[in-house]
Structure 1
Amino acid sequence: MREGMNTGGRRAARRRGRGRLSGTAAVGLAALLGGALAAAGPAGTAQAAPQAPAPAADCSAASRIEQKLAGGTTWRMCWHYESKAGLVLDKVTYQPKGEARPIQVLTTAKLGQIHVPYDDGKNEFDDLTSYGFGEGVQNLSPQECPGGTLKKVKLPHAAAVNGLCTTTRARGHAYRAAADEGTKVWSAQGKDLLVYGVNKVGWYEYITEWRFSDDGTISTQVGATGNLSPFDYDAGDGRGWPVGRGAKAYATSHSHNIFWRLNFGLDGAPSKVQQFDATTTERGRRTPTTKTRRTDVTRELAGNNAAQRWWRVVSTRGKNQDGHARSYEIVPGHTNKYPGRPYTRRDVYFTEYDACQQFASHNRNCGGTSVDKWVNGQRLKHPVTWVNVGFHHVARDEDQTPMPVHWQGFQLAPRDVTAMNPLTPADLAAQNGQPVFP
């Protein structure tokens, strides 16, 4: 899988006016499941064709991340750092318990832009490409990486800093299931690999976070913190909010439109894209009925979320032990869509791979400077996924100071990557397909 890298760029001058600083059932079930349930694969399922092994994380020890979580899942990846985009993850693989080899998921994953327009129309910023986001990497203290490992980030013309933390975090229940009378409960707590760093742009500080869960889910979000800009207290009512004593100083409202760029490489090959739309129109015997329609996305697409719409990126090579194509579903987080620029009016873009196209806006010399310009009907042979999540920041008294972190992001949920929940306990391992209870 190929991937372009953009490591150039100089530190941009800081701008002054920018704001950043059942019991019997359980017994019967256990008897039913006994012994034979320890078999290696689900009974009566089709075996997947042999797959080429996913490439190992063939990078230096300093650039390698590998973590086996308590549930038996191992995540592996490489990382590097770019002067504009900051943290870039490469060759991300997922190996749940019971899989003989790693499953490649992503070729690269990184931020694609942080676009910040102010409500009074006076300022607009593109933090990655114009304002030194990557070069604002912060030196993390050991207290900021509890129980984890700090990794050195070295940019040209700057001293190395502890710019990346890898650690693990509990996330609460991974699952819970009780027998009919509650005499047997299956329950487990989930664990995540957490990878993050902090970048300072003006008064704002951005926490870029990636979570890799033991059930195969990938979650990514950016948290904005730091301080409100002291130079942006000149808005009026409707374009700002009174912060401080009385109603004299209105902190200017603004948006954070954050893009992620994802180059999937499921099972080591270019993937394909599918869109699903559900329609509820007919009345059944008791309730209205709903039908879901699948559309293969064969050409570049600029799409918006809808009440019953979702997308998945599908492997063209690998299948799980049930014979189903592996895929990851894009699960959007809450968003405030900004209508002020053409490229921020869509929630997701699928574009044909082009090494030049690295940033969602202010991307120079790529047949158009923003992602919306690249969607021109070209056939998708190697799709790149762009996800846009917005946050409209209307300041409040509690934002001073320092500002509580406000988060925006999304998830990539595994869909048919494994034949069953990779955390399924041993005495439920035969319950693949329609459950069989006594």
Structure 2
Amino acid sequence: MRVNRVSRARTAAGAVALASLAGGLTAGAAPATAQPREAPAPAPACSAAYRIEQKLATGTTWRMCWRYEAKAGLVLEDVSYQPPGEPKPIKVLNSAKLGQIHVPYDDGKNEFDDLTSYGFGSGLMPLAPGECPGGTIRTVKVPEAWDPQNPNVKGLCTTTRARGHAYRLQGDTAGKVYQKQGSDLMVYTVNKVGWYEYITEWRFADDGTINMNVGATGSLSPGDYDAGDGRGWPIGKGAKAYATSHSHNVFWRLNFGLDGSSKARVEQYDSKVSPASGSRGPTNKTTLTKVTKELAGDSKNMRWWRVVSNTGKNKDGHPRSYEIVQGPTSKYPGRSFTQHDVYFTQYNKCEQYASNNPLNCGTGHPKNVDKWVNGQTLTNPTVWVNVGFHHVARDEDQQPMPVHWQGFSLAPRDVTAMNPLTPRELAQENGQPGGGR
């Protein structure tokens, strides 16, 4: 099975096409409200060929650099966000990339680390024009390409996409309705590993939210139709050809650079509902736990984390931060490194992959992220987010297999003093609406 995954992936590389480098995206429309004259924003620290800069229709601009790694594939760096009314870009991330895709099969016979052992980065697929509607497909030079004679692949899409309502408010005068349609900058690639194809998608919204998703598609492995023992699902006619169930445990590796500083603090919030008492209904109290040491964190009802800037504040004087918004997950308990939903580790350049880390980090240095949580003081956090999906195949998974998504979001918390897309008429409504009436 391992040989099949590698040989199949390398065979598919023959389809990779050569192309010339494409240009950048066209800027979106100007913001609806007039903005003060501003000095030109500093360009990200990369050449034009590796720079992404997009002004969305609502006036928000995202800027970042990109590069491509042999194992992780696409890496985004120097990511900043500039909504309308902000005089300069707000730095969010130093770097963001996949940290691992771990795929254990339910029968225990096969288990894969797709990034570090099975050629994820080498398997960048060329994108047809219709796969990047309204956008630009850029050429990527792939390190350790399947076909070393043809390493250039038109495989990076940058485009924009409408996402529906950014907000809606029924005003109290003459039925005035305030509403705005939101839009996202989308950056994505497709990487092939064996029979699977992974769409790695990054969405940068005009309200400052970042959505990170991986979609698995392609085909079920034909070598894994042997699970008639309660570890699979019958595919095809009758109760036969059982496709083996398996998990996709996807890790993301994030290094924050809020307001230009790698130093930040991590906070955990938990809310607890108490029963009704007397004339008062149930109450809910939220408590803060400062995360001062490395942490292997587990999601619970009404629990969340945020990464807080040590240097920057919004116009209300509140520290800027980004909240980690967990997506649906099926946590895999079979390995120690997949038993937690989020890891906060002190930054170590050598710790690049959540499992089977291939770098030589020194004698005895462990290979998996759970072993990196060893009590160090947390001043420069690396954030590892683990989202699992247990794939019990179905008839509809053939052929080809529909995309099944897994991911999470980073939501701005106090990055701006108000909704960054606030209409001009409501610009003074900061604080208690209506002045407390």
Q: TM-score range by the shorter chain?
A: 0.7 to 0.9
2-side partners of 1:54 and 1:392: how far apart? 44
**Cα pair 1:145 1:165 within 8 Å, conserved:** yes
Q: Match for residue 207 of structure 1?
A: 199
Residue 112 (1) aligns with residue 99 (2): yes
> Per the alignment, in what secondary structure is the counterpart of residue 76 of structure 1?
strand
Q: Match for residue 406 of structure 1?
A: 404
**Cα pair 1:38 1:429 within 8 Å, conserved:** no
Q: After TM superposition, give the deviation of residue 153 of structure 1 in Å.
A: 0.6
> Per the alignment, in what secondary structure is the counterpart of residue 283 of structure 1?
coil
**Cα pair 2:198 2:217 within 8 Å, conserved:** yes
Residue 393 (1) aligns with residue 391 (2): yes
* Residue deviations 1:105-138 (CA, integer Å, cap 9, x gap): 0000000000000001100000000000000000
Residue 74 (1) aligns with residue 61 (2): yes
* Residue deviations 1:304-329 (CA, integer Å, cap 9, x gap): 00001000000000000000000000
**In structure 2, what residue type is equivalent to 1:352?**
Q
1-side partners of 2:174 and 2:249: how far apart? 47
- Which 10-residue stretch deviates more, 360-369 or 124-133? 360-369
Q: After TM superposition, give the deviation of residue 428 of structure 1 in Å.
A: 0.5
**In structure 2, what residue type is equivalent to 1:374?**
W
* Residue deviations 1:32-66 (CA, integer Å, cap 9, x gap): xxxxx9998xxxxxxxxxxxx99631211110000
2-side partners of 1:190 and 1:124: how far apart? 41
1-side partners of 2:46 and 2:245: how far apart? 43
> Per the alignment, in what secondary structure is the counterpart of residue 251 of structure 1?
strand
1-side partners of 2:287 and 2:308: how far apart? 16
The 3 A distance-change label for structure 1 pair 316 and 241 is same
1-side partners of 2:113 and 2:47: how far apart? 32
1-side partners of 2:53 and 2:416: how far apart? 20
**Cα pair 1:310 1:330 within 8 Å, conserved:** yes
1-side partners of 2:275 and 2:242: how far apart? 51
Q: Match for residue 374 of structure 1?
A: 372
Q: Match for residue 50 of structure 1?
A: none
Q: After TM superposition, give the deviation of residue 13 of structure 1 in Å.
A: 8.2
The 3 A distance-change label for structure 1 pair 273 and 134 is same
What stretches of structure 2 of length at least 5 have no aligned partner?
Answer: 13-32
Q: Match for residue 276 of structure 1?
A: 269
Q: How does 1:120-131 map to 2 (within 5 A)?
A: 120-131=107-118
2-side partners of 1:412 and 1:376: how far apart? 26
Q: After TM superposition, give the deviation of residue 163 of structure 1 in Å.
A: 1.1
**Given the alignment, which residue of 217, 221, 244 partners 2:236?**
244
* Residue deviations 1:78-112 (CA, integer Å, cap 9, x gap): 00000100000000000000000000000000000
2-side partners of 1:289 and 1:248: how far apart? 54
Q: Match for residue 319 of structure 2?
A: 325
The 3 A distance-change label for structure 1 pair 54 and 280 is farther
Q: How does 1:337-352 map to 2 (within 5 A)?
A: 337-352=331-346
1-side partners of 2:97 and 2:299: how far apart? 21
Residue 254 (1) aligns with residue 241 (2): no
1-side partners of 2:4 and 2:367: how far apart? 22
Q: How does 1:9-408 map to 2 (within 5 A)?
A: 14-15=5-6, 56-156=43-143, 157=148, 158-180=150-172, 183-269=175-261, 270-283=263-276, 285-364=279-358, 365-366=360-361, 367-408=365-406
Q: Match for residue 21 of structure 2?
A: none
- Which 10-residue stretch deviates more, 356-365 or 117-126? 356-365
Q: After TM superposition, give the deviation of residue 203 of structure 1 in Å.
A: 0.2
Q: After TM superposition, give the deviation of residue 145 of structure 1 in Å.
A: 0.5
2-side partners of 1:185 and 1:215: how far apart? 19
1-side partners of 2:348 and 2:288: how far apart? 27
Task: Report which structure shows greater RCO (CA 8 Å, sep ≥6).
Answer: 1
What stretches of structure 1 of length at least 5 have no aligned partner?
Answer: 1-11, 22-36, 41-52
> Per the alignment, in what secondary structure is the counterpart of residue 115 of structure 2?
helix
2-side partners of 1:397 and 1:13: how far apart? 23
* Residue deviations 1:318-344 (CA, integer Å, cap 9, x gap): 000000000000001000000000000
- May I ask how many residue pairs the two structures share in their alignment? 398
**TM superposition score normalised by structure 1:** 0.88
2-side partners of 1:14 and 1:214: how far apart? 39
Say what the alpha-carbon RMSD is for the aligned residues.
2.0
**Cα pair 2:5 2:195 within 8 Å, conserved:** no
> Per the alignment, in what secondary structure is the counterpart of residue 434 of structure 2?
coil
**Cα pair 1:326 1:415 within 8 Å, conserved:** yes
2-side partners of 1:13 and 1:161: how far apart? 23
